[in-house]
Every structure is written in structure tokens, then in C-alpha cells.
Amino acid sequence: MKKQIIELLQQCGLEQYKEVIEQGIKPSIRLKPKRVKQEKTIPIGSSKMGGRPDLPPSIDWPVWSAKEEHQLSFLCQVNLSELPEMPLSLERTVPQSGMLYFFFASTNEALYEEDWFPTQKDACRVLFYNGDASILRRTNYPKKMKKEGCFPACSLMTLIEWDIPSSEWIALEEEEQDFWVKWEDFNKKHQLNFVSDTDETYFRPVHKLFGHVEVIQYEMEREWVHLLTVDTCEELKMDWGDTGHVVFWVPEKDLKKWLFTNVLAEMECS
């Protein structure tokens, strides 16, 4: 797949940037939700988005440590044993078993309260559990949970996709004016040929683990790794600002140890 992307790069007249772009091509794990009529049809311990998390008794539903009246919304859980066969770079990073949970402060009070706009680690939580799966239970919503912070349950299919870096990766000379035309052509053809469910007129929501994130406002420092993007999505009844997305970041040094105590999440919108 990576070879095919490089061939497309050359077809679009960007062969002089082959080396730098090739270094930035990364695999990602695409998450594709499908709404279910009843949450109970999703087996406990399976990957899912929305609904209620399947937590072990030792883990309570997370809240903001400093603002406990704000319950964190459950976005998704990923059963790592259900992931497709991964490229070596991801295989070295991701354990072969365990559950990864993502929570975020998504209610209006949390998102738009100036002092607590979720750019601090209290506003999100990523949990990892790799114990006995038989003790997982579908956890009820907390009593103080606001309806707007609850999302419909969706089953989840996962697949591997290959992401290209953003154009900011490439240092341009002033005379290279036609780069942007060629890059736009390359980016569009990459979407159509290598991103699932994309057509000429409509780019569907993209939820994914790892890979690159589509930057709307600004990109994090290079020592941070993109962990998860959850997009605005009709299927999940999620609308992040003005059709934006929520992005989870983890320090690279923490990811190597599979630690998630310093994760940050941001809502980005245009």
C-alpha cells in the first residue's frame, strides 16, 4: 500500500518530495461505527462507540477531578484483540490484548466554560485494562450524567489505512508556486483511492487510532503522538463545534510504555 501511495505521488508530479513524504506515511486504524437498535446486541467486551462502557469492577466511570459535577462522556472502547493484522510499526506499539477506553468532557457546560475548555488532562481520560475479560460489566450512566453527554450505541468495525503527512512536513522554496496545486490533486486522489467510504462529493466522518490527524487549528509538538480522532458524526449524534473533531494526544515517551496518565484531548473546529 505504501508503494502505491508513492506511485501516486509521482503521478501527481511530486517526485522531488518523495523522500520526505515517504518518511511521513503512517498506518492508522480506522474505526467505522454502525448504529444498533438495541445496545444489548453488542457483546460485552467488544469494540464499540457510544452507549455505555464495559468496565471491570475496579474502574469507576471517570469524572473531572476538580469539577465532579461534570461527568466525562464515553466515546468508545477498543478491544485490541479484535484489531486487524497490523503493519510492523503498529504491531510494535499496540498490545495484542486488552481494552482501551476513551472519555471526554463533551457537555455544553464543559466545552464552553472558559476556565475549563478541554485542553487539560482533567477534561479527558484514557483507560487501559488487560485483565480478566469475564468480569467486564456494562456500566450504567452516572446519576448526574446529562443527556447531551450520552451518545447512541454503535458496533465497530476496524481496518488499516495509510495516512499521508500534512503539507507542513515539506520545506518549500519560494519559486515552487505550483506545489499547492499538485499537492491538492495528490491529497484528493489519496482520499479517493486509499481512504474508506470516500467519493467525489462527500468525505465521510473519519474516526481513527494513530496515523496523522487532519489539522484544523494547529498541530501539537512532534514529541506528542496522535492517539485518537473522533469526528463529527450523524451516526453517533456527535457534533464537535462547527463540524469539527476531538483529538487525543499522548506523549511519545508514554506511548512506548503504554501509559495514558498524561493524555490531552482537544476539540477543534473551523
Residue 33 — very low, low, confident or very high, per pLDDT cuts 50/70/90? very high
CA distance 178 to 161: 28
The residue that leads in pLDDT, 221 or 146, is: 146
Q: Best-predicted range by mean pLDDT among 77-81, 186-190, 243-247? A: 77-81
In terms of residue numbers, what domain contains 114?
2-268
pLDDT at residue 28, as a whole number: 92
Give me the chain's average pLDDT, please.
84
pLDDT at residue 253, as a whole number: 93
CA distance 23 to 127: 30
Amino acid (1-letter code) at residue 120 = Q
How many domains are there within the chain?
Answer: 1
What DSSP element (H or E) covers 110?
Answer: helix 108-112
Contact 21, 49 (CB under 8 A): no
Q: What's the whole-number mean pLDDT along residues 137-155?
A: 91
The answer, yes or no, to whether residue 104 has pLDDT greater than 70, is: yes
**Between 2-11 and 179-194, two packed helices, what is the crossing angle to 10 degrees?**
140
Tell me the CATH number at 31. 2.30.320.10
pLDDT at residue 174, as a whole number: 47
